[in-house]
Structure 1
Amino acid sequence: MVMTIDFKKGEGLVPVVIQDEKTMEVLMLGYMNEEAYQKTLAEGKVTFFSRAKNRLWTKGEESGHFLNVISISEDCDNDTLLIRVNPVGPTCHKGTRSCFDTSYNQNFIFELEKIIEDRYNNPAEGSYVNKLRAKGLNKIAQKVGEEGVETVIAALNETEHDFINEASDLVFHLLVLMKEKNISLNTIAKNLESRHSGK
């Protein structure tokens, strides 16, 4: 895709919205000039033009909390960028995920997917995920089946609180099974979208 960003509208700068590729949470807003944009393309890490420092600034150059580029899109007026990233550590200089004080609960399922992936990549002593993984695919699949049955029983015979807990267990174990099979939530979402659009 050929980008046609108009850097002249904003006197050489365009606003850049940074979004977590996994959770879709907006992490920060920055600005780029054409040089920062080209550096971002070349290195795969987000580089801004710092208006305060009057120079290029690669996010994470001091903290190590880089924003690894997944995709770049421009808006319909060609004067704003949306960059989806895989963030390394917190984005905000205050140590928080995002520079915006927004609710995160609606995105926790994506964060949970990342936590499970981290357990796979960096096993932690006492981790339930690692204990389950060590038992193999058959046991993980069995747990999903057990939690599915318990969710049905709770829906039919138990309280709303019980149903919420059992459904949560089911989703968690399904995420572990998906990780074991190397299938992401994004893959499931795209499949559901394609099935929906076909109806």
Structure 2
Amino acid sequence: MNSDINFDKSPDGLLPAVIQDAETGKVLMLGYMNREAHEKTLAENIVTFFSRSKQRLWTKGETSGNFLHVREILVDCDGDTLLIKAAPVGPVCHTGADTCFQEVNQGKGQFLNYLQSIIQDRKVNPAEESYTTTLFNRGVNKIAQKVGEEAVELVIEAKDNNDDLFRGEAADLLFHFLVLLEHKNMNLDDIVGVLQRRHIKQ
């Protein structure tokens, strides 16, 4: 994909690079890259821009320590804009804000989409030592039973004061619920759609 980048499209050789948090999906900032900045970013897996004000390469975080660790680089269909998914270390904006758009960077719900894709892959491509594959092989009754068991365990932990155990049971319930959805050929978007329709009616 990176070979599709066309730095020659811009008279100054600079292309916009949109930085997105790889976990939350929040847009963090916009910078510019030339070929050299892009190559340095690839080599070090840390975002480096070309600073138009300083007229030199500038690694985000070189002063503050708030680096942007690269997870993935995507190129748009015209080859003249980059989307960089990164893991930020600390606030991104020089003002101290999480993002340069003054948004709070929180919410890791996007990981659920990734987890869904893994569960779906286990269904299509069974892995011998995979717990998820074992659940699919046992069928809907076993999966539904596990969802029920985890729900009961979550209720029990809700009555105690051990937050770590409660979070663990909540995670177990959510995982098995996702497996059940996949077994039923559904995903979270289907369920969220129901909630959205109910919300409109409230």
- Structure 1 length as normaliser, TM-score? 0.58
- How is 1:102-121 mapped onto 2 (pairs within 5 angstroms)? 102=103, 107-108=106-107, 110=109
Please show how residues 62-141 of structure 1 align to structure 2 within 5 Å. 62-102=63-103, 107-108=106-107, 110=109
Question: Given the alignment, which residue of 130, 145, 162 partners 2:155?
Answer: 145
Distance in 1, Cα, partners of 2:10 & 2:154? 53
In structure 1, the gaps of 5 or more residues are: 112-140, 150-171
Q: Is the 8 A contact 1:144 1:173 kept in 2?
A: no
When residues 93 and 143 of structure 1 are mapped into structure 2, their CA distance, relative to the original with a 3 A threshold, is farther
CA contact (8 A) 1:3 1:74 kept: no
Aligned positions, number: 138
Task: Tell me how far apart the structure 1 counterparts of residues 41 and 68 of structure 2 sit (CA, whole Å).
Answer: 10
State how far apart, in whole Å, the 1-side matches of 2:104 and 2:23 are: 16
Superposed displacement of residue 142, structure 1: 7.8
Deviation string 1:34-92 (CA, Å, 9 cap, x unpaired) is: 00000000001000000000000000001000000011111111111111111001000
- Give the distance between the partners of 1:82 and 1:175, measured in 2 at CA: 37
Structure 2: gaps spanning 5 or more residues: 111-150, 186-202
Q: Distance in 2 between matches of 1:95 and 1:29?
A: 16
Corresponding residue SS for 2:17: strand
- Give the direction of change, closer, same or farther, for the CA distance of 1:52–1:43 in structure 2 (3 Å limit): same
AA matched with 1:77? D
1:103, CA displacement in angstroms?
6.2
Cα distance in 1 for residues equivalent to 2:17 and 2:165 = 35
In structure 2, what residue type is equivalent to 1:7? Answer: F
Larger radius of gyration: 2
* Runs of 4+ deviating beyond 4 Å: 172-175
